[in-house]
Chain A
Amino acid sequence: MTPAPLQVLTEVAAGLCLLFILLVPFAAAGLAAINAGLGRSRNAAHMMLSSLCVFALAAVVFFVVGFAFEGYPGGPAYEFIVRGKSWNWIAANHFFFRGLPLDGSPASLAALLGMMSVGLAAIIPLGSGADRWRLGAACVSTAVFAAWTYPLFAHWVWSGWLAHLGTNYGLGQGLVDAGGAAPIQVAGGISALAVTWVLGPRRGKYTSERMPMAIPGHNAVLVLLGCFLVWLGWIGLDCAGAILFARAEAGRSVLIVVNATLAAAAAMLAVAAITRIRFGKPDASLCANGWVSGLVASSAGCAVMPPAAAMIVGLVAGALVTYTVELLELHLTIDDPGGSISVHLFGGFWGVLAVAWLGQFPEGSASGQWLVQLAGVASLLGLVLPLTYALVRLVNRFLPMRVAPEGERQGLDLHELGAGAYPDFVSHNDDFLQR
């Protein structure tokens, strides 16, 4: 079966979509600020430069290779037939955007959004690899991610077989994920998990009894400022994705902005309440993670949920991030300084599944929609996770990803860049004392 062609956008809708896409870099800036603030002061410049480098590299690799594999709805693709049904598995565009008119057409807007989205997804693992991931290795991992992993899965979700399970097999609407919770957030979170497993925890993080030591972030102001930037970027991401991939009319943007805002607010308030009850005071870094988690979780269903449902999504996402941060650090010995795995992986999974529960659709069975959303999660766990882990291990084999112990002690700013982020003050750390 030939997939439905990309909708024709009016000039107003195309202009609005372009404007929304231009907001997406704010999300990247916000995530970079959050990751830098949650890390140590001696690695702050390294984190910001790493964020800029991986965003730049992801955009270039996506232009060269990635878009050819991701494509756009209705574009050329390779398919195979099973029992008379087509399974569209990878796009068949030209490298270097050849043959793609960059004129405001839906295909060109999809390419531009893809370029921004892959950069955003590439920044996510930097949070979990903070304080110990070498810049060169991060760039190589990003190149692999932007060339293959992200485009393949993004194609499945927005224009490939997952998107067409509704038309081909009568399963709901096909996978519903307007804002990219699965291909951007969960794929980035999976990459973060793979990187954390390969790098191991920071030195001094765990005692010999496997007890985690607190290594607080160095700049809560930067973290909380990042939340505002992320909010702005997410509004652009959700609205542009909904117009391009969920065929939402431009006027639906108001609902999407309301949903994103309510989900973020509910998640942050839930975290503040939980930490206030459990620890006596609200935790700033967890509140920031909760805010982002609400945005992540609302991405998938932003265009198909009523505002009250978005609040429920946010509340659950907030609770989820609070407890998964603890689960990962205390019980699974996963050292994730930026909270990327809890926020993007768990929040994204919850968002994808919540669509089946809380989404409002004009037609299609609810059980079919559950099955499609489950197939999306299963693809992430069953293919993207093993593939990403294998690729990260491969990169690590040829280009060791972890910085040398003296570099970790000295700080990545001085060790890899030769200058610190804050030259006017010296921090005294006792992270390496015997405990």
Chain B
Amino acid sequence: MQVAGWIIVLAAIALLKAAPQTAFALAGFCVELAGVMLAVRSHLIPHGEKE
């Protein structure tokens, strides 16, 4: 998801102009953030597991 979001940002910059450019770049960034959140969740220590 992070890579996909980055590609959306790049595509927006390269192919679009004005308002759609900003909107798609922000959408790509949101996709990246969702990917980061998933990555963070997957690295949480589960309850009951002692380190």
A304 proximal to B (CB < 8 A): no
Interface of B is mostly: helix
Total inter-chain residue pairs, C-beta < 8 Å: 83
A97 proximal to B (CB < 8 A): no
| CB-based contact A201/B15 at 8 Å | no
Interface, chain B (partner A; CB < 8 A): 2-3, 5-7, 9-10, 13-15, 21-22, 25-26, 28-29, 32-33, 35-36, 39-40, 43-45, 47-51
Whether A171 touches B45, Cβ cut-off 8 Å, given contacts A201-B51, A382-B6, is: no
| CB-based contact B51/A203 at 8 Å | yes
Interface of A is mostly: mixed
Q: How far is the CA of A206 from the CA of B43 in the complex (A)?
A: 14
Residue of A nearest to B7 (CB): A382
A333 proximal to B (CB < 8 A): yes
Minimum C-beta distance from A394 to chain B (A): 17
The 9 closest A-B pairs by CB, nearest first: A382-B6, A333-B45, A378-B9, A208-B50, A381-B32, A206-B51, A382-B2, A197-B43, A82-B14
List the B side residues contacting A87 at CB < 8 Å: 14
| CB-based contact A371/B6 at 8 Å | no
Q: How far is the CA of A201 from the CA of B51 in the complex (A)?
A: 7
List the B side residues contacting A334 at CB < 8 Å: 43
| CB-based contact B3/A85 at 8 Å | no
Residue of A nearest to B40 (CB): A332
Contacts A202-B51, A208-B49, A378-B25 aside, 6 further interface pairs with beta carbons under 8 A come to A169-B13, A200-B45, A209-B47, A333-B43, A374-B9, A381-B36
A22 proximal to B (CB < 8 A): no
A205 proximal to B (CB < 8 A): yes
List the B side residues contacting A389 at CB < 8 Å: 39
List the A side residues contacting B39 at CB < 8 Å: 385, 389
| CB-based contact B22/A210 at 8 Å | no
A324 proximal to B (CB < 8 A): no
Minimum C-beta distance from A196 to chain B (A): 9
| CB-based contact B44/A375 at 8 Å | no
A428 proximal to B (CB < 8 A): no
Minimum C-beta distance from B31 to chain A (A): 9
Among A367, A383, A385, point to the contact of B36 (Cβ < 8 A).
A385
A396 proximal to B (CB < 8 A): no
Contact bitstring A188-207, B, C-beta under 8 A = 1, else 0: 00000000010011111111
A165 proximal to B (CB < 8 A): yes
| CB-based contact A206/B6 at 8 Å | no
Q: How far is the CA of A381 from the CA of B10 in the complex (A)?
A: 13
